[in-house]
Amino acid sequence: MKPELMKRMVKGPDGVEFEVEPLRDYFCEVPPTVMPAAYIKIVEDLFNWARAESIWILGFGTGCGAIEMRPLMTPRFDAYRYGVQWRPTPRQANLFIISGYLSTKTLKRAIRAYEQMQNPKYVIGLGSCTINGGMYWDSYNTIKRLDDYLPVDLYIAGCMPRPEALLAGFMDLKKIIRAGKGEGANQYAENFAWYKENQKRVIHDWDMPDYNW
């Protein structure tokens, strides 16, 4: 663990010594909880319709698949006409596209970004690397199954999938959300211990809190 993350005594400018433990002081430790559906089905359906029509993507390209999103967000394929847009921060996004191979080092950042997103949130695995490792099946530093580490709602197969495939994927995701099956965040909360166990098995230097939002 990095020295700046260790528990230590710090002397303030006024001469008072106090204890600092960055991993506990700066983060809320409460694990995620299952968010219940709205009290009546018609309201939940309305919510789901609204969620399906405003897919906001976290602009975090993890692998080479990120290159497919540039033509998608620019006039050639123009995903914005479907209510899909890219956001610069996890706080404003509800869809996380894992675009291609995910190294264990990026996985750590991806987990942090995913946990910082607001509920309800969805994950799309883009490209064959997220499904079974793809061409990185024998690599020492890329994961092979994304759904071991994050709850995946939809996979888009291909190496790489074209932007059209992504647009079709967005349409499928909309159907999933409208049907009330986009329950990834709740799955993550329910199986939190299992996800953490998997994550910690591949991330050897775990220098962050278990749940950081």
56 DSSP β-pair partners: 85
Rg (CA), the chain: 19
**Minimum distance between the CB of residue 148 and another protein, rounded to whole angstroms?**
6
By beta-carbon proximity to another protein, the closer residue of 125 and 182 is: 125
- Tally of CB atoms within 10 A around 6: 12
Nearer to another protein, 34 or 203 (CB): 203
Residues contacting 53, CB < 8 A, separation 6+:
83, 174
CB of 5 to another protein, least distance (A): 13
Region for 174 from its dihedrals, namely left if φ exceeds 0, alpha if ψ lies in -120 to 50, beta otherwise: alpha
Q: Which H or E run contains 125? A: strand 122-126
Residues that bind another protein (CB under 8 A): 104-105, 108, 131-133, 137-145, 148, 198, 201-206
Residue (3 or 36) nearer to another protein, CB? 3
Of 38 and 159, which has the nearer Cβ to another protein? 159
DSSP H helical ranges for the chain: 22-25, 41-52, 69-73, 104-116, 128-132, 163-178, 184-190, 192-202
**Least Å distance between CB 193 and another protein?**
17
Pick between residue 19 and residue 138 the one whose CB is nearest to another protein.
138
CB of 144 to another protein, least distance (A): 4
In the complex, least distance from residue 132 CB atom to another protein, rounded to whole angstroms: 4
Total number of residues shown for the chain: 213
**Closest approach of another protein to the CB of residue 105, in Å:** 5
* Contact of 115 with 213, CB cutoff 8 Å: yes
| Closer to another protein by Cβ: residue 43 or 159 | 159
